[in-house]
Amino acid sequence: MALSDFDRRLLDRCLNGAPRAWEDFVDRFMGLVVHVVNHVAGSRSIKLSNADREDLIAEVFLAIIENDHAVLRHFRGQSSLATYLTVISQRVVIRKLVEALSGETPVAHLPEGVVEANGAEQRMADREEVEALLERLDGQDAQVVRMYHLEGKSYRDISAATGMPENSVGPLLSRARSKLRDIAPAD
């Protein structure tokens, strides 16, 4: 789908700093960003609190306005603006979740369930432990799990990188998760 006239005008207004342009932009695409945040977290079995969700939504919109709306300035109009923003939103959310889960970036609330009963903060996934578990998987299983869960790659990207059919990625991930649950040490 090509860029609609309405979105083209909205984009031009934003890039030119027209009054209320940013508010109109946010109103138009808030639902899309919320959907992407929920979908990305849900597909990785991460439960988000309302505060976490709001933080991730804010991160997406900050990425859009960063460097004088550089993300919008790079839009070439070869797809709908919604499609472009979906990809941008997915990348931002995946990056932020990976950073939070690996401990690279402190995030106040993310992910829910990180705080133990005694109140001590703990990472949901310790990267070294995850890597050790991945070493116990077969080569391709480990590669696909790493690409999907740690690198945030899509099924299509994984298919292109590994040569496996795209519709085989999901079942492989399910089998690998099952194997990981079986070999993961019980707490």
Predicted local distance difference test score (pLDDT) of residue 117: 25
Q: Determine, yes or no, domain membership for 19.
A: yes
Residues 6+ away with beta carbon under 8 Å from 170: 155
Predicted local distance difference test score (pLDDT) of residue 186: 53
Three-class SS of residue 174? helix
Both tokens assigned to 49: 């609190």
Predicted local distance difference test score (pLDDT) of residue 90: 92
**Core vs surface per residue 62-78: b (16+ CB within 10 A) or e:** ebbeeeebebbeebeee
Predicted local distance difference test score (pLDDT) of residue 99: 79
Four-CA torsion 95, 123, 148, 70, nearest 10 degrees = 0
Residues 6+ away with beta carbon under 8 Å from 64: 71, 72, 85, 88
> In tens digits, what is the pLDDT along the chain, a chain of 187 residues?
678 899 999 999 999 999 999 999 999 999 999 999 999 888 877 888 888 899 999 999 999 999 999 999 999 888 899 999 999 999 999 888 887 776 555 444 444 433 332 222 333 334 555 666 677 787 888 888 878 776 777 888 889 999 999 888 888 888 887 777 776 555 4
Give the bridge partners for 115, in sequence order.
121
Predicted local distance difference test score (pLDDT) of residue 121: 30
> In CATH, what number is assigned to the domain containing residue 98?
1.10.1740.10
Say yes or no: 9 and 98 in one domain: yes
> What is the spatial distance between Cα 147 and Cα 149, in angstroms, rounded to a whole number?
6
Predicted local distance difference test score (pLDDT) of residue 20: 96
Say yes or no: 157 and 87 in one domain: no
Predicted local distance difference test score (pLDDT) of residue 177: 75
Say yes or no: 28 and 69 in one domain: yes
Predicted local distance difference test score (pLDDT) of residue 131: 65
The boundaries of the domain holding residue 67 are: 5-102
Predicted local distance difference test score (pLDDT) of residue 38: 92
How many domains are contained in the chain? 2
Q: Determine, yes or no, domain membership for 36.
A: yes
Say yes or no: 140 and 76 in one domain: no
